């Protein structure tokens, strides 16, 4: 039985991590920490285990095998590295960290301690995305020429455990980045996953167009990110992340190939829709994409526990996600300088 500690007991922990651990027969919820002690105590009472007054005290418990880090963005690196050094495996929420050196330090800590570091990039586990990767690799739409991928909704202020215009997502001191870190990370990583290629150049604009805090001032982080990516195979496409889609959530991706077009989560009925160059249509009714209002099992927790039970490196490892983080920080640089930026993929 894998004993789990939860560090940060906000919305993502409450709707995804905790209930999915509780449903996994190989996991046991054992410990909780939150800046709000009453919240941690309430969850301990509901799911079993003990609430701890500090991260250090939780990490000092020897029989805790692994932790989920579900805190604000700027604390991810410090807590994850401390957990790894305390001989805990780590599942960290995205974004991995808020600086590239911190991301690299997390990967190094996992390597040095021999513990697993996994990131919660659940889009890789969506069934239609897994199938689409197989179809693309099999040559169904030929060589990739272009793409567009979008993740947009009305923002985190209604979804947070403490809803309102002063959510931590809007606070630059806690979040560091906005829609790019919240949503753009998912879609950038997805393009790597679907194509088997990496982004090698980005031309980006990260802007704050509409979101305002309780004082009426524009928030301190981006509410929209629009990027043009060039892939290692030569394809060029766009990635859009937005907190200002005030209507239906958009979580779609379209891949344009030399032999056809593949659409993902772009149709209300069919999660994959392929139109071939010859004029044929191929439809796959596989699943529905998660939305903020329609939460379904992510698969992240089960994948993490499987790594621990069967002793194998997670597919969504820190080292793998580091490729995505390099694109994110290059995009921030591009937006700040007004120039295209080459992504240095080590």
Mind giving me the DSSP string for 263-303?
EES-SSS-SEEEEETTS-EEEE-------SSS----SHHHH
User: To the nearest whole percent, how much of the chain has pLDDT over 90?
Assistant: 91
Q: pLDDT tens digit string along 17-56?
A: 999 999 999 999 999 999 999 999 999 999 999 999 999 9
Question: What pLDDT, on the 0 to 100 scale, is given for residue 29?
Answer: 98
Residues 6+ apart with CB under 8 A from 36: 9
**E strand spans, the chain:** 2-7, 27-33, 50-51, 66-69, 89-92, 117-119, 144-152, 199-207, 224-231, 236-242, 253-257, 260-264, 272-276, 281-284, 341-342
Write down the mean pLDDT value for the chain.
95
Q: Which two tokens stand for residue 3?
A: 């004993």
Domains and CATH numbers, the chain: 2-122 (3.40.50.720), 123-299+323-342 (3.30.360.10)
Is 290 a residue whose pLDDT tops 90? no
Q: pLDDT tens digit string along 115-138?
A: 999 999 999 999 999 999 999 999
What is the pTM for the complete model shown?
A: 0.94
Cβ-count burial of 319 within 10 angstroms (0-12 exposed, 13-18 middle, 19+ buried)? middle
Residues 6+ apart with CB under 8 A from 238: 147, 148, 149, 226, 227, 228, 229
Question: Is residue 76 a contact partner of residue 57, using CB atoms and an 8 Å limit?
Answer: no
Question: What pLDDT, on the 0 to 100 scale, is given for residue 39?
Answer: 97
Q: pLDDT tens digit string along 163-219?
A: 778 898 999 999 999 999 999 999 999 999 999 999 999 999 999 999 999 899 999
Burial profile 17-54: b = 16 or more Cβ within 10 angstroms, e = fewer: bbbbbeebeebbbbbbbbeeeebbbebbeebebebbee
Question: What pLDDT, on the 0 to 100 scale, is given for residue 293?
Answer: 57
Question: What pLDDT, on the 0 to 100 scale, is given for residue 22?
Answer: 97
CA distance 184 to 173: 19
Is 57 a residue whose pLDDT tops 60? yes
CA distance 17 to 4: 10
């Amino acid at each position: 039985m894998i004993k789990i500690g939860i560090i940060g007991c906000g919305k993502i922990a409450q709707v995804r991590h905790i209930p999915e651990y509780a449903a996994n027969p190989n996991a046991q919820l054992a410990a909780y920490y939150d800046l709000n002690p009453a919240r941690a105590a309430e969850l301990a009472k509901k799911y079993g285990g003990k609430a701890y007054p500090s991260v250090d005290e939780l990490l000092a418990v020897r029989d805790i095998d692994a932790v989920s880090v579900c805190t604000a963005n700027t604390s991810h690196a410090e807590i994850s590295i401390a957990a790894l050094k305390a001989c805990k495996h780590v599942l960290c929420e995205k974004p991995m960290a808020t600086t590239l050196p911190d991301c690299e330090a997390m990967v190094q800590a996992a390597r040095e301690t021999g513990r697993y570091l996994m990131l919660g990039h659940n889009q890789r586990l969506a069934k239609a995305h897994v199938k689409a990767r197989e179809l693309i690799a099999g040559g169904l739409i030929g060589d990739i020429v272009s793409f567009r991928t979008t993740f947009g909704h009305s923002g985190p202020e209604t979804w947070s455990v403490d809803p309102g215009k002063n959510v931590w997502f809007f606070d630059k001191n806690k979040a560091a980045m906005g829609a790019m870190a919240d949503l753009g990370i998912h879609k950038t990583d997805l393009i790597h996953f679907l194509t088997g290629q990496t982004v090698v150049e980005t031309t980006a604009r990260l802007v704050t167009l509409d979101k305002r805090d309780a004082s009426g001032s524009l928030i301190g982080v981006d509410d929209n990110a629009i990027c043009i990516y060039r892939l290692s195979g030569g394809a060029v496409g766009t990635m859009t992340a937005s907190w200002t889609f005030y209507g239906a959530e958009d979580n779609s991706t379209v891949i344009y190939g030399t032999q056809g077009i593949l659409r993902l989560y772009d149709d209300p009925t069919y999660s994959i829709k392929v139109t071939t160059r010859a004029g044929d249509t191929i439809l796959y009714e596989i699943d529905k994409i998660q939305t903020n209002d329609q939460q379904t099992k992510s698969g992240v927790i089960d994948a993490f526990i499987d790594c621990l039970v069967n002793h194998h490196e997670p597919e969504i490892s820190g080292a793998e996600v580091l490729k995505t983080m390099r694109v994110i920080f290059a995009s921030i640089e591009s937006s700040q300088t007004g120039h295209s930026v080459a992504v240095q993929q080590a």
